[in-house]
Amino acid sequence: MKPLRADSVAPPQFDPATTLIRINDVVAIVGLARPTIYKLMSQPESDFPLPVKLSNSTARGAPVAWVLGEVQEWIRTRIAARGRNAA
């Protein structure tokens, strides 16, 4: 990797608390299928993060995204629970 020159701009830093990701990214990160993710969202005991609406549309299929930090926290919780009854 080339070192940054003094006059070059540093790459942007992403804050997981404000970075939104789409369903394909969620699928890739958690390793679950799309229908399973939506099923988990309908089960409050799963604590799976809910998406953020990206428009005012109320139509089915309206664009949504998930907060990266919330998805990562859900994964951390699952990892921590692996020694207990996590399922």
- Taking only the tens place, the pLDDT of each residue in 46-70 is 999 999 999 999 888 899 999 999 9
Nearest to 64 by CA among 24, 28, 12, 8: 24
Cα–Cα dist 87/71, whole Å: 17
Cβ-proximal residues to 49 (8 Å cutoff; 6+ apart), any chain: 41, 66, 67, 70, 71, 73, 74
Domain count, the chain: 1
pLDDT band at 86 (very low <50, low <70, confident <90, very high): very low
pLDDT band at 32 (very low <50, low <70, confident <90, very high): very high
Q: What is the pLDDT of residue 3?
A: 59
Which tokens in the block code for residue 57? 């549309």
2 has pLDDT over 70:
no
Residue 14 belongs to a domain = no
pTM of the entire structure? 0.78
Residue 39 belongs to a domain = yes
Residue 5 belongs to a domain = no
Cα–Cα dist 71/73, whole Å: 5
Cα–Cα dist 76/86, whole Å: 12
Q: Can you give the residue range of the structural domain that contains 67?
A: 20-83
